[in-house]
Amino acid sequence: MSANNALTPRVFLFRHGETEWAKLGRFTSTTDIALNPTGSAQVSGMAMMLVGPGKLLDPCRLERIFVSPRRRTKQTFELLLGPKSDFAEGKYTYTEDITEWDYGDYEGLKDHEIRILRQERGHDKEKKWDIWTDGCEGGESRHQVEERLDRIIVQIKEIQQPHMHGEKPADVLVVAHGLILRCFTKRWIGLSIINPLPIMLEPGAISVLSVSV
């Protein structure tokens, strides 16, 4: 691998650490819940192992950082990179475009509770509920999710395009939520979010995307 190829821009996806609702399997989108102690430890541990000069996530290579404005993602960002990091000054943006899928009427419910609710409302007589195709009552459809993710992806590609051959480091970090990051990955590689691409991000997990040049 040449030096230039080694600097091909990457997109780091970081899922926030565990919360009490995530621990219980409750669907969490708009509810502004904080990390629990386990979640804070997850992020701090990943930061120690993977963040720093010469490590996987090198702050010197970060060109932009996009963070969901929920409390749990803000805490994750601060634990991961530090609340007053000089390198991050002017490089990070809080944006609603990467908030979790809005679950609407299903907010705070567990999977089986959602299915019971839908049956009570007369839904799913012919097939089981699938969030990817059916969306959420009172919340977002897949088309709305795709639209806002596509906006952020366009921004990222505009940032990285002038530096695709290693002209300068142009990595981007996205700190967000489990389901929306799975959706982001599908859109990044040009797939609809209904595509059955198996992806799973544990709380406090990091993944890396890139592009062919």
Judge whether 78 is annotated as a binding position. Answer: no
DSSP 44-109: HHHHHHHBSTTSSB-GGGEEEEEE--SHHHHHHHHHHH-TT-GGGTTTEEE-GGGSPP--GGGTT-
Catalytic residue list contains 16? yes
Specify whether the CB–CB gap between 10 and 210 falls below 8 A.
yes
* Given the residues 18, 100, 140, 146, the one annotated as active site: 100
CA distance 107 to 29: 7
| 101 annotated among ligand-binding-site residues | yes
The 8-class DSSP code of residue 127 comes to S
Per the annotation, does 106 bind a ligand?
no
Instruction: Write phi, then psi, for 133 (nearest 5 degrees).
Output: -100, -30
Neighbour-count burial for 82-92, b at 16+ CB within 10 Å, e otherwise: eeebeebeeeb
Residue 48 CA: distances (Å) to CA of 12, 33, 43, 53, 60: 16, 24, 9, 11, 16
Both tokens of residue 153? Answer: 């992806």
| Token reading at 147 | 């639209």
Residue 166 backbone class (left: φ over 0; alpha: ψ -120 to 50; beta: rest): left
Binding site residue list: 72, 100-103
Binding site residue list for substrate: 72, 100-103
Q: Which residues are catalytic?
A: 16, 100
